[in-house]
Structure 1
Amino acid sequence: MTSSLFLNISYLIALLSLAIFSRQCEGARAFFVFGDSLVDNGNNNFLMTTARADSLPYGIDYPTHRPTGRFSNGLNIPDIISEHIGSEPTLPYLDPELQGDKLLVGANFASAGVGVLNDTGIQFVNIIRIGDQLRYFQQYQQRLSQLIGAEQATQWVNQALVLITLGGNDFVNNYYLVPYSFRSRQFALPDYVKYVISEYKQVLGRLYQLGARRVIVTGTGPLGCVPAELALRSRDGNCDMELMRAASLFNPQLVQIINELNSEVGADVFVAANAYQMHFDYISNPQAFGFVTAKVACCGQGPYNGVGLCTPASNVCPDRNAYAFWDPFHPTEKANRLIVSQIFSGSTDYMHPMNLSTILAVDEMKFK
């Protein structure tokens, strides 16, 4: 009798989980985010780290007008992608609210300060390094399996959209962090780039092993043009050429390993987003995009508002839409929207081999 009752309860739980899954699946797909501060939705709020954005004026233009841990005045790139795919924003994986039906939306594993390499960002002490982000992704899938069953969980992950943004910190917060850094003494720049790229290929391969089947991979932006580097390295307001050289070496090799991985798996799993060009468009001609400046950060202090962090004591511009950069390193929400517009509908100069609107159309036919 007890055994029969247990089986009936188990059967009802399974049916309920399947009903939840079916309801959530209608016109939806999960979204997973990995990477650094450009895409962190607030994981670092839950860590003892100096790499955080949990105090005003961060979030000044967010719907709640409160800081969320996003390195933005408002929405960041994952938020705006979620808008485009008709989904609510993903919660940080460390957020206690990420449970139950919220798991079906996906999760954001990104952590400000991280890079491809484990020694990148060590000055921030406690951050979620990329290997740990991938381990959390495994843990997430176990939790999802408990909610909707192992087979459905695998299908849900396979059909998800994934965004990964890494690489910039491996230069600005590692190789070029201080003169004669350990990595700059160990490697000449071309050799360092090859090393980072080889490690990145393993990260992407691991993502595939964990079930990711549609992954947008962003390259680095024009690293030498951010206000922090202008303040540190530029005498005339021009982009620092050494950091620009690093980006020019890194990005083509990233596209190369993406092509190699797609050939190895026999499908267009990985999609290259040309973040360098997306950013450089408005940096090189800010007025064409409605910006007053792409050199001075909205929030900060010192030359170009590029010194130190954005804090309650910093200068803050009254009109965030007039600035391409919110703080010394990160774009404003307006600039993020320009970037996502190219991710969504840009030509193959920006998205290779296809943009997000094409991905959504192709996958809708595939998953019917």
Structure 2
Amino acid sequence: MTTTDTYLTTHGITVLAPARTVYGIIADVADWPQRFAPNVHVEHLERTPGAERIRIWATAGGEVKSWTSRRELDPHGLRVTFRQELSAPPVAAMGGEWTVTSHGDHVSRLELRHDFRAVDDDPAGVRWITSAVDRNSESELAAVKALAELGDSLGELEFSFEDTVFTTGDPALVYDYLYRADLWPERLPHVSRLDLKEDPAGQNTGGRDTAGRDTAGRDTGGGGEPRVQVMAMDTRTADGSVHTTESVRVCFAPDRIVYKQTTVPALMTAHTGSWTITPAGDGAAVTSRHTVILDPGAVERVLGPGRTVADARTYVQRALSANSTTTLRHAREFAEATARG
């Protein structure tokens, strides 16, 4: 494997918000799946003052990629530099920086620079990376601008909530039920269709027993690497309406699945969530968590004239909670019934 040429890109945008507000969005990488369309999930691997090491799952060029990066944070200079430690082909190496420049109390300039090399300096790889960087950079810059310019109203639009059930069943069976989303149309009354495909590279793993297989006996890759799933699903809500969503899930066997909806219902601009299984007394607590950002412009169009963001919060939480609770209860019943034989 040889790499030679380094390619440079710069993208920028003017934001009608204070520079420190803009910097805060860039610095808070844990919230990026909610903030940026390409980002699916972020795991902190290390944290020290002014630096962090993270693993990111994100969509790029129509594929789900994962890489490990180190970031250096400079809150005084309003700069964040980053360098990938382990890149995903066709990227051989990548780094860059975010810089925020103040142009007054409520105007700032945000720039995002990348430098990268392609594996074997392959022209097709260079084109793929350039296209992905251009597309994702423009998307991320636009998202920062929109969020920063929302100001305090973001707090009204973004909210999180959880639902939990307790089970005495085998936690591994609960995980398998949540992991085997391909079976949900047969198992769950609110799921009418679900198309699922797993990471074609086989570099991730989920739903494993100690032999590296799920309860259906399928080889899941072994080695403890999370498995990535991409799925499209039609769900019915209590009022009978059907919503089509598309999601990317990262499955951390044996106790956690995180996901991001890449296509969301009309009332939302972002929706991320997780399924977690934790020991509790003589059994396990199984929790579904949702974080949502509402689209204020869609409220009256979807719910009717005169309806408010508060109405939308209630509607969305009720709908998501009802379906999640149904899934949790069925997972519990599956695990406990299996234990009874």
Query: Normalised by the shorter chain, which TM-score bucket?
Result: under 0.3
TM-score if structure 1 supplies the norm length? 0.26
Write 1 or 2 for the structure with the bigger share of strand: 2
| Larger helix percent | 1
